[in-house]
Every structure is written in structure tokens, then in C-alpha cells.
């Protein structure tokens, strides 16, 4: 009787082992397929970034030159403004913009911090910031100040589409939920950039960015966002 029970148990163990092996094999196949899909998507996204960047740099080269001249004539100093920003997985990188403020604007910020209009305490926004030059207001209005970030895209620091890269001091105030924005490569434009820009509260920006991250494997949605960006730029809503 004991031998029969032992044989039954051995048969059950073998069947269980085979079932587990089959499940494990299916899981491994799905995992490999998912990894391949991610790599293909990333490669395609990177390819499109390089192609579009090349086109944009050629098309916008006259704007680059004209903007540089206007900045120097109105307020002599550096043409570009560089900042340290936080990219994918918390990596820091040099972030470029056309200078839209007077020289030494960073030192003046502490005196204006009480006038922060963002309401969230994480980001600093002020509609009538006295540090912004006349040229700066125009290039901000049409997002021309963001064009040098095409260099960041070519350097692989950024993508054309993705959550905007935050400042280190902003990340220091992030909750664990907010840090999900750092799971993908940051971009020049994103969902909230085409939905109202600075008028979108920080909490809503986070929600929109997380929505993008969940859908970030869609190249077609990236292209659609680029087209929507053109409309947002000309409309100028929330630009200050």
C-alpha cells in the first residue's frame, strides 16, 4: 500500500514538474519577446530623433542666427544659457537654451522666490518676471528659446518627445510617485506642453507625464505630439 502511494506521489511530482517547466518556458519566451519589442521601439525612436533633429537644425538655422544677434544686441553676454537637469534614471546632464533673461538672473531669483506663482512649491513660475528681456519674452512666447535642446537630443541626453527634464532641486522635492517621470528619457515637448504649458499645475503635469510613460512605446503618438506642438507654439497658450 505504501509503495502504491509512493508511486502515485512520484507521478504527481513529475506532472507538476513538467507543468512548471512549461509555464516557465512560456514566461521566458514572453519576456524575451517583450525585451526585443522594447529594443526595437527604442531604436526606432532614436532613429526618428536623429532624422527630425537634422531637418529642424537645417530649417531653423536662420532663426538661430537672428535670435543670437538679438540677444547680444539687447543684453550683451552669453547667447546660450546652460543648466544642470536630471534625465533618465536620475542622470545629470547639461541642458541648453537661448538666454532669455538678463545676465546674472540666477542671483536675482532668491529675491523673487516669494512671488512664485506656480502654487506647488516645486517649480518656479512668474508671469511678469522682471529678469526676462524683451527678446526673451518673444522667444519664450514662440518656444524659440528651446531650440538649442536639439543639441541635447543629438547627444542622447534628451528625445524630441518625453517628460520635461527637471532641475535637481525640484527632484529633491519629488514624492516617490513624482519620480516615475524619471523612468524615461526626457524630451523637448510633452503632453502638458501642448495642453497649456505653464498654466498646467505641477500635479497635473506629473499625471500627464505618467500617462505618456505608459504609452511611450507608441512612435505614432510621438509624431502626433510633434504636430500638436507646432499648433501650441503658434497659439502661445501658457507661454511665459
Indicate the range of 60-74, 125-139, 157-171 predicted with least confidence.
125-139
Closest CA to 122 of 83, 92, 166: 166
What ranges do the domains of the chain cover? Answer: 46-235
pTM recorded for the entire structure: 0.73
Indicate the range of 22-36, 96-110, 193-207 predicted with least confidence.
22-36
CA count, 13 A, side-chain hemisphere, 44? 13
Could you read off the pLDDT of 41-82 as tens digits, one per residue?
778 889 989 999 999 999 999 999 999 999 999 999 999 999
What pLDDT is stored for residue 21 in this prediction?
59
The Cβ of residue 172 has, within 10 Å, a number of other Cβ atoms equal to: 10
Strand, coil or helix: 161 = strand
Comparing 153 with 202, which gets the higher pLDDT? Answer: 153
Counting runs of H as helices and runs of E as strands, what totals does the chain give?
8, 4
Contact 51, 128 (CB under 8 A): no
The pLDDT confidence band at residue 112, using thresholds 50, 70 and 90, is low
What pLDDT is stored for residue 193 in this prediction?
74
The pLDDT confidence band at residue 144, using thresholds 50, 70 and 90, is very high
Average pLDDT over residues 17-43: 67
The pLDDT confidence band at residue 121, using thresholds 50, 70 and 90, is low
Residue that is written with C-alpha cell 536623429 in the block: 50
- Is the pLDDT at 4 greater than 70, yes or no? no
Could you read off the pLDDT of 182-202 as tens digits, one per residue?
888 999 988 777 776 666 777
Indicate the range of 38-42, 61-65, 134-138, 205-209 predicted with least confidence.
38-42
Amino acid at each position: 500500500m505504501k509503495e502504491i502511494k509512493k508511486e502515485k506521489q512520484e507521478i504527481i511530482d513529475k506532472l507538476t514538474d513538467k507543468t512548471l517547466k512549461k509555464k516557465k518556458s512560456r514566461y521566458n519566451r514572453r519576456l524575451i519577446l517583450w525585451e526585443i519589442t522594447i529594443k526595437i521601439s527604442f531604436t526606432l525612436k532614436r532613429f526618428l530623433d536623429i532624422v527630425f533633429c537634422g531637418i529642424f537644425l537645417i530649417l531653423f538655422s536662420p532663426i538661430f542666427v537672428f535670435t543670437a544677434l538679438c540677444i547680444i544686441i539687447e543684453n550683451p553676454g552669453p547667447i546660450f544659457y546652460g543648466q544642470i537637469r536630471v534625465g533618465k534614471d536620475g542622470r545629470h546632464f547639461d541642458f541648453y537654451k537661448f538666454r532669455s533673461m538678463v545676465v546674472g538672473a540666477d542671483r536675482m531669483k532668491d529675491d523673487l522666490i516669494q512671488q512664485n506663482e506656480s502654487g506647488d512649491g516645486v517649480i518656479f513660475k512668474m508671469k511678469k518676471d522682471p529678469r526676462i528681456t524683451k527678446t526673451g519674452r518673444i522667444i519664450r512666447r514662440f518656444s524659440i528659446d528651446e531650440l538649442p535642446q536639439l543639441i541635447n537630443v543629438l547627444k542622447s541626453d534628451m528625445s524630441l518627445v518625453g517628460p520635461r527634464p527637471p532641475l535637481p532641486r525640484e527632484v529633491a522635492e519629488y514624492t516617490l510617485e513624482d519620480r516615475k517621470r524619471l523612468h524615461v528619457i526626457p524630451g523637448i515637448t510633452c503632453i502638458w506642453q501642448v495642453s497649456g504649458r505653464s498654466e498646467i499645475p505641477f500635479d497635473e503635469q506629473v499625471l500627464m507625464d505618467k500617462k505618456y510613460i505608459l504609452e511611450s512605446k507608441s512612435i505614432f503618438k510621438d509624431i502626433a505630439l510633434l504636430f500638436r506642438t507646432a499648433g501650441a507654439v503658434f497659439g502661445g497658450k501658457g507661454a511665459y
